[in-house]
Amino acid sequence: VQLQASGGGLVQAGGSLRLSCAASGSTLHYHAIGWFRQAPGKEREGVSCINLSDGSTVYADFVKGRVTISRDNAKNMVYLQINSLKPDDAAVYYCASDPDLYCSDNLSVGDFTSWGQGTLVTVSS
């Protein structure tokens, strides 16, 4: 599967963004899409994940209440709505998947092997 993230940009603190992840190619064995982010000088961390079949979701504690992940299976799209953006949310955001993987609570970067090109989110204070 090929994944492409988009929708990043410059937003003022308190604003909102919706990131998109487009999946293409062989999606038959891919059951979940995760969103991750990496800020300069920091490790990549899991933000959220959605199981494509039933829409069940996982969120990292630091984004609960501010982030909503959703999917449109007909369009092979997954979205990440981020509200009340903070300067700490500034990062490159990536979507990722892995064959036969379902979302788990730990949102482990190492579980995902297919990564899209990231999209940059910049938050001005």
pLDDT tens by residue, the chain, 125 residues = 899 999 999 999 999 999 999 999 887 788 999 999 999 999 999 999 999 999 999 999 999 999 999 999 999 999 999 999 999 999 999 999 999 899 999 999 999 999 999 999 999 98
Q: What's the rounded Cα separation, in Å, for the pair 116 and 109?
A: 13
- What integer pLDDT is reported at residue 28 of this predicted model? 75
Q: What's the rounded Cα separation, in Å, for the pair 61 and 119?
A: 22
Give the pairing of strands 17-24 and 2-6. Answer: antiparallel
Q: What is the 3-state secondary structure (H, E, C) of the chain?
A: CEEEEECCCEEECCCCEEEEEEEECCCCCECEEEEEEECCCCCCEEEEEEECCCCCEEECHHHCCCEEEEEEHHHCEEEEEECCCCHHHCEEEEEEECECCCCCCCCCHHHCCEECECEEEEEEC
- What integer pLDDT is reported at residue 1 of this predicted model? 87
Answer yes or no: are the C-beta atoms of 41 and 94 closer than 8 Å. no
